[in-house]
Amino acid sequence: TQLLEQSPQFLSIQEGENLTVYCNSSSVFSSLQWYRQEPGEGPVLLVTVVTGGEVKKLKRLTFQFGDARKDSSLHITAAQPGDTGLYLCAGFMNYGGSQGNLIFGKGTKLSVKP
């Protein structure tokens, strides 16, 4: 079973459209992170959300952490072809105070057509 479920798995949209990607779990995470990965490269961290209900903005990207710290969303406004890539959510779980492993979802493959 996948601890972090991402949806949709694939998304193909036109330049200028808005989109939202979801990351859901039945478990509580001490933090959730969003990464972007280009083909043949390693993931690059976009943002870390730590507090339940937290909202962070990075230019046209808005990230939200659920109140119960079990889910997160990534919203992109006016998508551009340069936003194309694999978006991964990842989380740290609390293990009695120690941080534990970083657990990844399967990712959402976004394609933005000009």
Partner 1 sequence: DTGVSQDPRHKITKRGQNVTFRCDPISEHNRLYWYRQTLGQGPEFLTYFQNEAQLEKSRLLSDRFSAERPKGSFSTLEIQRTEQGDSAMYLCASSTPLAGGRETQYFGPGTRLLVL
Q: Which residues bind partner 1 (CB under 8 A)?
A: 4, 29-31, 40-45, 48, 50, 88, 90-92, 99, 101-107
Query: At closest approach, how far in Å is the CB of 95 from partner 1?
Result: 10
**What are residue 77's phi and psi, to 5 degrees?**
-100, 135
Query: At closest approach, how far in Å is the CB of 16 from partner 1?
Result: 28
- With b for 16 or more beta-carbon neighbours within 10 A and e for fewer, the 81-103 pattern comes to eebbbbbbbbbbbeeeeeeeeeb
Cis peptide before 43 (omega within 30 of 0): no
* C-beta closer to partner 1: residue 83 or 107: 107
* C-beta closer to partner 1: residue 83 or 87: 87
